Structures are given as structure tokens and as C-alpha cells.
Structure 1
Amino acid sequence: MHDLIYGIGALAGWIAFVYKLNHLRQDWTNPALRAMVAAFGFSAVAFTLTVGLVYQPIDAALGVPNLTKLFIHSFMVLFSVCVLQLLAFWQYPAPRARHRARVYWAVGLVIVAAMSALIVVAPIHDRYTIHFWKTHAGETLMLWYLVMFLVALSAGLLAIAYRSWHFAGLTAQLPWLRRGLRLTALGALVSFGYCACRGSYLILISADVRVEPLVDIAQPFASLGQIVFFAGLTMPGWGPKTRVDQLSAYRALEPLWSALHDAFPGIALHSAAEGDSVAVGDVNYRLYRRMVEIWDGYLALRPYLPASAAVRPGEPLASDDAARMINEGLKNRQEGYEPAAALPEQPPSVQDNELEWLIAVSRSFARMRARELDHA
């Protein structure tokens, strides 16, 4: 049963790895996509090494029984590091995401180094055992080793769950990205069930109480959690709205976004030199960022909007009217008009889907600008 459970987890990991590796071949410079592929790879290798038919020959080849466990646990710690790095590139501008990624990797590598030192000197290499936790968890050095592993993995999984769920709340107009992030959070919590069971086992064993079923109960949490996790991170590409449709929407917002960006360059979360690909290659993300930047530009433009922009809170605003007001506000700013007193920082209400409304505003805005050029 042990090999079957972990074998299913390994198979799911390799499927996810190959699926995203194909995307990475098309966009190798994308650091977020590289982090995702690395995370899938670390997890797939870790689960594969856990299967007895793979574990035993590698231990025999190394000539050091049970050393393969270090690889398994280290790869799971690095898996958490890679997913945290991925979420950083999804959520923050590239420079800040890179800084966070360096911190994650530094902490992860220190933990792996400490685990390596403990397991190398621990007296556990005289004979091979597949019941690693039940056999060695009560030994002092291995207790510290396993505690360090579980704390590192638990911290990573809980951080992933929190950040995925929080980020999902900001993507209401991109339903498949939102669903994927929430499923990712669920997968992280299910995987945490593994840490909870094994952690409880260590706490009890330190009190000279052995509840060995806790070790076995943890196994399904590990595999099921990873399967849900993989499904969540790959879900944005499953939706009925194809990549071509998303890219079309992204481009449709270009006229409005460009005009606001020219007036207020600070709304861009990534510099022109960095480009979108530095943030994340997933068009879901780029579309979401463009929508956020348009709203930021609108808020910056509010002091220059005409008096007719004073819409009562909650009152829907037609896309043509919004485009006209934005166009007039940009002209007022360009012509040096004194800004009006600061207006409440509240975007206008939209009638239906926010993305469709913004696309309609952008197209109406583009038509207005084209007519003005024709009459110039």
C-alpha cells in the first residue's frame, strides 16, 4: 500500500512536470514558470524515491543505507521554496519578487544543510529499513532531523495556503485563475495533514508513547494533497476561455492602458525593461495586472476629470461615458488645467462583468482618439 500511495503521487507529479515543461520550452526566460516546473520536478522526484522499488537500488548504489531519505526530505523542502518563489512572482513586481526568492532559497538551503549534517552523523546507516520513521524517530539526532524537516515543510505549506487564498481574492474577474489558486490553497492544507500526523507522532514518541498508525495515516494526505496542488497550479490553462481569447482581451485593453500609462508611468508594476515576461508568462496574470493598472490610472486621473464625472456611489456608468470622461481628463491634464479638489478614491460601478466593461471602455476610448486624429 505504501508504494501504491506514493506511486500515484509520483505519477501525478511527472504528468504535471511534463505538462508545464512544454510551456517552459516556449518561454524559457519566464522565472515564475521556471519556478513552477522546478517545484513539480522536486515533488515528482521525491515521491518517486519514496517507492521501495526505486529507494532500495539507490541506497544500494550509494552504499549508505537510508541516505536516500535525505534526498526525499530535501526535495520536499525545496519544493516549498519553489512554490513560494512562484507566488512571489505572481504577486509582486519583479525586483521585489527576486529579493523574496533569494531569501526563500537562502533559508531553504540552510535547512537542507542542517538536515544533511544531522542525518550523516546519525547512527542509522547500519541497515536498510523501509519503516524509517517507526525505526529511527526515537533517536535523538533523527528526532531533531525530522522535527526540522516537518517545521520547514509545514511553514512552507501554510504560507502557500495563505498566500494562494489571499491572492485568489484579488482575481475575481479571472475565474479560472481564482479557482486554481483556491485549489492550490486546498492542496497545501491537505498536504499539511501529512505534517500534522507525523508531527503528532514525534510529539507522542518524545513522551514515550508510540502511536504508529499516525505514520501510516499521513501517507494518503501527502499524495492526495500533491494531486490537488498540481491541479490547482495548472488549472488556469483549463478554462473555457482559451489563451487566444485571453490574449485578445489583454490586447483590447492596450489603448486605454497605454494612454493612462503615458500620463502616469508609476501605475506600471513592471518597468518597460523588465516587460511582462519577467513577472509571469501566464496571460491570466498579465490580464489581471493590466486591469489593476487601469484602475490605478483612473484613480490618479480623477482630479482632472470633468464635473460630469461625479457619479453617485453605486450608480452604474456606461462604458461610452467613462471613455469620454477619461479622454477629457487626459486632455485637461495635458493642457495644464489646475486639478480639482481631490475626489473620493472610488472607481465607478460597473453593470456586469468588469473585464467586459473595461474592454468596452477601451474600445470606445480608441474610437474617440481615432476620430480626433481624423479631424485634426
Structure 2
Amino acid sequence: MSLVVYMAAFLFALAALLLRRPRTTPPTPLTVPTRVAVFLGALCFFCSAPATLAEVNDVTGIPNVGAPLTYSVISAYSCSLIILLIHWRGGPDAQIRRMVGMAAAVYGTLIVAIIVLFSLADAETERLSDLDTYYANTPYMREMIILYLMGHLASTIVLSAVCLKWARDEVTGLLRVGLWLILVGLLLDVLGFELTKVTAVVARWFGYNLDVLSTSVAPPAASFGALICSSGFVLPRLASATAAERQSLSNYRALQPLWFAVKSVATAPKAEPTWWHLWWQLPSSRLYRLEANIRDALLQLTAHFNYRVGETTYAAAVERGESEETARTVSEEAMIIDGIRRASGVGDGPADPPDKFRITIDLVDLASAVNRAGETSPEQVRTQ
């Protein structure tokens, strides 16, 4: 049983790592809530594994202390899903803060109550897999078990109602797919975890033994349902992140001709990272490094520029009827391409660099212009 639960925890932790925000991407209101929810999901499974419970009990010297720890994490996970849903829905900042504060206050109180009830209970016999049913009739333990089950059920009902409304009326595309995955996961959670746990506990109240529902049915159902539910939260964000990384990879490839043109003629080009430094990096990280190297190389080439080339190109563009923005772009392209040519030894005339130079042109557009100008052939670039 511990192996299955640890595998679920590992998959959650892996999802949290995959959701890390590239350093070039600005944070969004969903960044922190998404990662916190996925991390707490992983922590739920890790804490609930019998091997973890036994270790926690041994280390603390308190029998069954792993139970309130696990129930508290489950309650925190339920709260995090509601908070994530609040951020996902959006709205005025004041309203979001108020709703998040209410959810945190309710589940914070629930966690405190779980801890207090456990401290008042008499639970000296260690139970690693059937604690809910074994202590179903024990004062304070009984209330603690009911409390965490009701808290988890409440979050499930709220999530189900809101997700069902959105999935039917308000969203489309991957967000809608994500909502239906959440609903499927919640259904598995209600039927496979909540219903079986409650049934087994209530059976104990009336003198029956249905512990198998709690010990053998509920854990795998909860694992499977939580994985599906969390995938619904992750899918829209992961899809958008994948699209962004795909665009970064496209830009990275588009900038290769420009880097090839400037790296050999710059006065002090930065050393390129070796393949074993790059294979594990996301395309956005590679793009960030490449853009920085290109900009450094272009600034080093300023001494080879001739500002008159830019002025002449700008005047010609304006005369053709181009807008001022387009004229500035083509003039900057012309000056940079002329500077690269002169630095490589194939350009004519002396350099006359501008007093001040700032790169304003989009590097992908510049790479395309350099490529059209034929600056990427090895014979031209490598001639010193």
C-alpha cells in the first residue's frame, strides 16, 4: 500500500516541478496557488502512507500522531483547491482577497479543531491503516474523524457545484476539458473515498465490520480521483506553458543565424554552453541566454557601426511613405548589418559609430533581416 501511495505522491511532485515558472515569464495570480495545491496533494499521499505514519509515530514517540498530521494536510489541500478555484475564476482583487481569507479562516479553524480533539482523545494503540474504523466509537477521536471527513466533503461539494456551472455555461477549450476532469476526479473522490469511509465508520457505530471499505477501497480510489482532479487543474496551465515554450523554441531557432553572424566578429563573445549544460534547460531559458549573448555581441560591435548608413536608410524609408516606426526599424537593421559586414572585413568605408546606441529592434526580425542580407554564410562571417 505504501508503494502505491508514494507513487501518487511522486507524480504530484513531478507535476509541481513541471509547473515551475521560467524566470523570463512574469508571475500570474495562478502561479503560486497552482503549485501550492499540487504540492499539498503530493504531501497528502506522502503523509498518509503507512510507512510514513509509522515513522512519524516513532520519531515523536506519540502513538497515532501521524493521523492528525495527515488529516490537517488533507484539510489544507481541500482549502488550497478552493483558493485555486477562486483565483481561476478571477474577479476584483478585493473580492478575491476576501474569499481567500474566508476559506483560509474556515479550514484553519478546522485544522486547529482536529489537533485539539486528538490531544483530548485516548488513542494509545497504534493503527496505521484502519484508524478511522478502529477509533470510530472513541470519544474525541470519533469527532476528529467526522470533522475531517465533513471538511473534505464540503470542499468537494463546493468544487463540484462551481465546476459544473462553469463547464456548462461559461468556458470553452482546454479550460472546459480541465473542469470536466476535475468533476470526474471529484466524483471518484465522493464515491470511492468519502462514501466508503463514512459507510465503514457508521457501520462501526451500529456494531458491523465493513473495515475493508476504508482500508482497501478508499485509498486507491482517493489516489486515482485526486490525480484526475489535479490533472484538471494543471492541464490548462500546462497547455499554455507548453505553447509558450514552443514559441520560445521557435524564436531560439530563428535567432541562430543572427548569433552565427555576430559571435565570430564580436570583440569578446561569450563562450557557448556545452550540450550537457543545455539538454535539461527549458527553451525559454535557452532563449534568454541566447538573447543576452546576442545583445552583448551587438553592443561590442558598436565601434564598427556607421550612423550615416542608418540616417540614409531612414530618409529613404520615409520618402517611400513608410511610417516613422517602420523607418526606424529598417534603419537600425541596415546599420547593424553594415556593422557586422565591416567587422567581418567584407564591408567598405570607415566606421562612424553613433554617440549613443540602444537596441530597440526585435531580435527575431533582425535575424530575419541578417539572413536575407546573406550575412550567415561561413565565408562572410569568419573572414576577419
* 2:133–2:204 CA contact under 8 A, matched in 1: no
Shift in alpha-carbon separation, 1:122–1:223, aligned structure 2, 3 A: same
* 1:158–1:189 CA contact under 8 A, matched in 2: no
Listed one character per residue, the Cα deviations across residues 102-131 of structure 1 (whole Å, up to 9, x for unaligned) are 000000011111111111121113545443
* 1:43–1:79 CA contact under 8 A, matched in 2: yes
Equivalent residue number for residue 157 of structure 2: 158
Mapped to 2, the partners of 1:106 and 1:177 lie a distance apart of 28
Shift in alpha-carbon separation, 1:237–1:66, aligned structure 2, 3 A: same
* 1:8–1:223 CA contact under 8 A, matched in 2: no
* 2:86–2:100 CA contact under 8 A, matched in 1: yes
Shift in alpha-carbon separation, 1:26–1:47, aligned structure 2, 3 A: farther
Q: Which amino acid in 1 is paired with 2:58?
A: A
* 1:201–1:211 CA contact under 8 A, matched in 2: yes
Shift in alpha-carbon separation, 1:212–1:227, aligned structure 2, 3 A: same
Q: Does 1:187 align with 2:185?
A: yes
Q: Does 1:85 align with 2:83?
A: yes
* 1:66–1:125 CA contact under 8 A, matched in 2: yes
Mapped to 2, the partners of 1:241 and 1:176 lie a distance apart of 13
Mapped to 2, the partners of 1:214 and 1:104 lie a distance apart of 30
Query: What secondary structure, in the 3-state scheme, does the structure 2 residue paired with 1:140 have?
Result: coil
Deviation at 1:138, TM superposition (A): 2.4
Equivalent residue number for residue 220 of structure 2: 220
Deviation at 1:27, TM superposition (A): 6.0
Q: Which amino acid in 1 is paired with 2:205?
A: S
Deviation at 1:75, TM superposition (A): 0.8
Equivalent residue number for residue 99 of structure 1: 98
Equivalent residue number for residue 233 of structure 1: 233
Shift in alpha-carbon separation, 1:241–1:56, aligned structure 2, 3 A: closer
Q: Which amino acid in 1 is paired with 2:163?
A: S
Aligned pairs for 1:250-261 within 5 A: none
Mapped to 2, the partners of 1:13 and 1:25 lie a distance apart of 22
Mapped to 2, the partners of 1:160 and 1:246 lie a distance apart of 32
Shift in alpha-carbon separation, 1:245–1:35, aligned structure 2, 3 A: closer
* 1:14–1:44 CA contact under 8 A, matched in 2: yes
* 1:24–1:34 CA contact under 8 A, matched in 2: no
Mapped to 2, the partners of 1:4 and 1:166 lie a distance apart of 37
Please give the TM-score of this superposition, normalised by the length of structure 1.
Answer: 0.60
Query: What secondary structure, in the 3-state scheme, does the structure 1 residue paired with 2:21 have?
Result: helix
* 1:172–1:178 CA contact under 8 A, matched in 2: yes
Shift in alpha-carbon separation, 1:47–1:242, aligned structure 2, 3 A: closer
Equivalent residue number for residue 39 of structure 1: 37
Mapped to 1, the partners of 2:2 and 2:96 lie a distance apart of 38
* 1:182–1:232 CA contact under 8 A, matched in 2: yes
Q: How many residues align?
A: 245
* 1:180–1:232 CA contact under 8 A, matched in 2: yes
- Please provide the CA RMSD for this pair: 2.6
* 1:32–1:85 CA contact under 8 A, matched in 2: no
Q: Which amino acid in 2 is paired with 1:35?
A: P
Listed one character per residue, the Cα deviations across residues 149-191 of structure 1 (whole Å, up to 9, x for unaligned) are 1000011012112212222234544x11110111012112211
Q: Which amino acid in 2 is paired with 1:42?
A: L
Deviation at 1:140, TM superposition (A): 2.4
* 2:130–2:211 CA contact under 8 A, matched in 1: no
Aligned pairs for 1:326-345 within 5 A: none
* 1:162–1:185 CA contact under 8 A, matched in 2: no
Mapped to 2, the partners of 1:224 and 1:207 lie a distance apart of 30
Shift in alpha-carbon separation, 1:14–1:74, aligned structure 2, 3 A: same
Deviation at 1:81, TM superposition (A): 0.8
Mapped to 2, the partners of 1:110 and 1:155 lie a distance apart of 14
Equivalent residue number for residue 202 of structure 1: 201
Q: Does 1:110 align with 2:109?
A: yes
Equivalent residue number for residue 136 of structure 1: 135
Mapped to 1, the partners of 2:189 and 2:137 lie a distance apart of 24
Question: Which structure would you say has the larger Rg?
Answer: 2
Deviation at 1:5, TM superposition (A): 3.2
Mapped to 2, the partners of 1:195 and 1:128 lie a distance apart of 20
Mapped to 2, the partners of 1:106 and 1:8 lie a distance apart of 32
Mapped to 2, the partners of 1:225 and 1:85 lie a distance apart of 19
Mapped to 2, the partners of 1:114 and 1:241 lie a distance apart of 39
Aligned pairs for 1:12-51 within 5 A: 12-20=11-19, 22-23=20-21, 29-51=27-49
Gap regions ≥5 residues in structure 1:
248-376
Deviation at 1:237, TM superposition (A): 4.2
Identity %, equivalent residues: 18
Mapped to 1, the partners of 2:108 and 2:177 lie a distance apart of 32
